[in-house]
Structure 1
Amino acid sequence: MVSHAHQGTTSSALARLNVNAARRLGIPGSGYAHLLGVAPEHLHDDLCRPPTLTSIRIAELMTVHAPWPEVALLMAQESEVGSLGVWDYLITCAPTPLEGIRDAAAYLASVLDIGSDSLRVTEDGGHVRVSHLNGADLTYEAASAVRACALGLIQRRLAHAARRPLVPVRVALATEAPADHAPLVELYGTRAVDFEAPVSSITFLAADLRAPVPHAQPGLSVVLRRHAEQALASSVPLNSWLDLFRTALESAAGSAPPTLPGVALRMSISTRTLQRRLEEHGTTWSSEVEDLRRTHITGLLHDTDLSIDAIATRTGYADARALRRAVRRWYGQTPAALRSGRHPAGSGR
């Protein structure tokens, strides 16, 4: 499994789930649009990893507008199979639901922040218990909604895998009993819900989860696990405003060099504000563009057979001579030497 699991961030799919639920509650976008990772170019990019704090703040906002059991039910209803990406299919396409939930626990980082969330699957005789531990710094109501929703999502995915309703033997929530149980009864399909448990968990008959899935395709789980690893390895965590800016800058760098007004427009701020924020982070527009250009050029030299003239044209230099001057300034050597892997002593490269 990928060791670098981007702690402090979640998948953009989870952020989308929260935003969609907030919209269903009628919460104005102005209440969360400023949060890092909610801009459309990040919210709908499955390689982006918004900060965990973004989903936390939206969950807290929702529980200000509605009781936490209603929020939990609404979030579960907003999450159709596939909405959480490969994590959903790890459960629903496994040879048995039990194997699927074990894979989902192992690859929880593909959707949640494993710095604050974990899943544990335990077998006890004729029962299988799936425990969800959430240690994020949320308000009490938001934490209750998140924990209740997580168990509801697990039940729904396992039922989809089994291709039939799965009524849990027992649901235990690490929260006090709400005034109205009806949304939770609808969420789990049972009244067997206990409260004030040490850990939130949902328990099923082991026979239900061990039964082979008739539609399972041999070898598919291996492919899905590999995809989950690759997605984590290539994802981009948005941990700060500077990360957000650099993602916008990179996405603006197409066939033509990015422009300050163009990137400012992508970020929905003025050019003056953009320059001021860069100064606050100890950098400038020109140095950021040059860093991006250096990374791009170095990659082209190492990974392609493009001529120096072609690379100069592609990266916005007037000619090959200007490109050679830039490479010598950066690395103290020519593009040809850099391409061949000859690095000057003390360069660290």
Structure 2
Amino acid sequence: MISQAHRGTTSSALTRLSVNAAQRFGIPAHGYAHLLGLAPEHLNDDLCRTPAATGIRIAELTTVHASWTDLSALLTDQSGIGALGVWDYLVTSAPTPLEGIRDAAAHLAIVADPGTDTMRITEDGEQVVISHVNEADLTYEAACAIRAYALGLYQRRLSEAAQRRLVPLRVTLAAKAPRRHDALLELYGTRAIDFEAPATTVTFLASDLTAPTPHTQPGLSAVLRRHAEQSLAAAIPLHNWLDLFRTALASLYDETVPTLAAVARRMAVSTRTLQRRLDEHDTTWSTEVEGARRDHITHLLHGTDLSIDAIATRSGYADARALRRAVQRWYGTTPAALRRTGRLPNDPPVPGAPPR
């Protein structure tokens, strides 16, 4: 399910592709390494969603030193099957490539910013037109690169589904014709590329996309769709510094009862800076620890068979009675009842619980 929190973020997998491309083109890391979501613990965690502004900035820096045509070709080349996780397999595992790309369009938010990016698929007689719409606030060169890459990615996944290279009938790009576009000719495998078009599209023969996908497994698409929805629901959108802090705090809670100094070390800042940043975000260390503790305990109650005493010990409480008092304050019930009801950790807490 797409929530408001997912808007303005993209998958960490997509951001990794942008970082790798920037490195390949020799873009100095000091220009982007400080951006939100690029710390290794976030960039390499597929549950984290990077701020879309981070990927945009990397694309803009890259197209200062490389042509947008070369960047789109390199991004497509890097996007081997599996690079974008379950989204890739939605395309390649459906009964036909057309059904797969429809699934991919419906679940584009798994990889892209649902606030700015959409896919549209239309059937026009014997042709299928796939368009990509990107409404992000980008520089011209970066926008061209991202849109051209999107078409290259769709073509690659459809070809992988069909297990043969599918050559489009036509490609249209909402971009001025570059001086050289050899990279695009190689990328799409056709000279039928129209520039300065009103939309960014790629058109295939319907017969190419409706032929059965080789070796497809009945029922697999439904499993992948459910997995895609669950993955998006479990994702951690990183919009700002407070999101990064909460991610660091939660990760430490999985290992031990966190301390201010430990979280400061994880975030590579001083304890004084950490407290100041919390104050700037109108929260406090104690409030955040209480919220993280609540989430941690609720996960343990629902996801493990640990006793209440063991959960109290793992959560830093003196005994089970202290844990029971906390759960009563947060949810208005007992730990045992909370475990029986199966209340989800991200359900709205009762009034009086710490804000998250």
Normalised by the length of structure 1, the TM-score is 0.91
1:3 & 1:238 partners in 2: Cα distance? 15
Shift of 1:295: 3.1
The one-letter code matched in structure 1 to 2:274 is L
Secondary structure of 2:133's aligned partner: strand
Secondary structure of 1:129's aligned partner: strand
Structure 1 residue 171 corresponds to structure 2 residue 171: yes
Tell me the residue number matched to 2:3.
4
2:168 & 2:335 partners in 1: Cα distance? 64
Secondary structure of 1:50's aligned partner: strand
Within 5 Å, which residues of 2 pair with 1:22-37?
A: 22-37=22-37
The one-letter code matched in structure 2 to 1:289 is V
CA contact (8 A) 2:162 2:213 kept: yes
Secondary structure of 2:121's aligned partner: strand
Counterparts in 2 of 1:145 and 1:255: CA distance versus 1, 3 Å: closer
1:158 & 1:174 partners in 2: Cα distance? 22
Tell me the residue number matched to 1:55.
55
Shift of 1:196: 0.8
2:8 & 2:176 partners in 1: Cα distance? 27
Counterparts in 2 of 1:275 and 1:192: CA distance versus 1, 3 Å: same
Secondary structure of 2:244's aligned partner: helix
The one-letter code matched in structure 1 to 2:237 is P
* Residue correspondences, number: 344
Residues 229-253 of structure 1: CA deviation (Å, up to 9, x unaligned): 1111111111111011001100111
Structure 1 residue 282 corresponds to structure 2 residue 282: yes
Shift of 1:54: 1.2
Moved more, 254-263 or 195-204: 254-263
Residues 108-139 of structure 1: CA deviation (Å, up to 9, x unaligned): 11111121111111111111110111111000
CA contact (8 A) 1:278 1:284 kept: yes
Counterparts in 2 of 1:280 and 1:212: CA distance versus 1, 3 Å: same
Moved more, 261-270 or 184-193: 261-270
Secondary structure of 2:34's aligned partner: coil
Counterparts in 2 of 1:71 and 1:325: CA distance versus 1, 3 Å: same
Counterparts in 2 of 1:206 and 1:266: CA distance versus 1, 3 Å: same
Within 5 Å, which residues of 2 pair with 1:68-217?
A: 68-217=68-217
CA contact (8 A) 2:120 2:131 kept: yes
Moved more, 66-75 or 260-269: 260-269
Residues 20-48 of structure 1: CA deviation (Å, up to 9, x unaligned): 11111111222211111111111111111
Residues 41-63 of structure 1: CA deviation (Å, up to 9, x unaligned): 11111111111111111111110
CA contact (8 A) 1:127 1:204 kept: yes
CA contact (8 A) 2:329 2:352 kept: no
CA contact (8 A) 1:255 1:314 kept: no
Counterparts in 2 of 1:331 and 1:124: CA distance versus 1, 3 Å: closer
Tell me the residue number matched to 2:344.
none
The one-letter code matched in structure 2 to 1:279 is D
1:221 & 1:261 partners in 2: Cα distance? 46
Counterparts in 2 of 1:121 and 1:29: CA distance versus 1, 3 Å: same
Moved more, 31-40 or 319-328: 319-328
Tell me the residue number matched to 2:345.
none
Counterparts in 2 of 1:94 and 1:318: CA distance versus 1, 3 Å: same
2:329 & 2:202 partners in 1: Cα distance? 61
The one-letter code matched in structure 2 to 1:153 is L
The one-letter code matched in structure 1 to 2:204 is F
1:320 & 1:50 partners in 2: Cα distance? 38
Moved more, 219-228 or 288-297: 288-297
Shift of 1:320: 3.5
The one-letter code matched in structure 2 to 1:203 is T
2:85 & 2:339 partners in 1: Cα distance? 38
2:339 & 2:198 partners in 1: Cα distance? 58
User: Structure 2: where are the runs of 5+ without partners?
Assistant: 342-349
Counterparts in 2 of 1:89 and 1:303: CA distance versus 1, 3 Å: closer
Counterparts in 2 of 1:165 and 1:219: CA distance versus 1, 3 Å: same
Counterparts in 2 of 1:347 and 1:337: CA distance versus 1, 3 Å: farther
Counterparts in 2 of 1:128 and 1:247: CA distance versus 1, 3 Å: same
Secondary structure of 1:112's aligned partner: coil
Counterparts in 2 of 1:44 and 1:303: CA distance versus 1, 3 Å: closer
Tell me the residue number matched to 2:314.
314
Shift of 1:256: 1.9
Normalised by the length of structure 2, the TM-score is 0.89
2:61 & 2:318 partners in 1: Cα distance? 51
The one-letter code matched in structure 2 to 1:28 is P
Tell me the residue number matched to 2:252.
252
Structure 1 residue 230 corresponds to structure 2 residue 230: yes
Shift of 1:286: 2.4
CA contact (8 A) 1:92 1:160 kept: yes
The one-letter code matched in structure 2 to 1:110 is I
Give the share of equivalent positions with the same residue, in percent.
Answer: 69
Counterparts in 2 of 1:85 and 1:336: CA distance versus 1, 3 Å: closer
Structure 1 residue 46 corresponds to structure 2 residue 46: yes
Structure 1 residue 267 corresponds to structure 2 residue 242: no
Shift of 1:301: 5.3
Shift of 1:254: 2.6
Residues 282-335 of structure 1: CA deviation (Å, up to 9, x unaligned): 122222112211333355457766444322211112334544565566678876
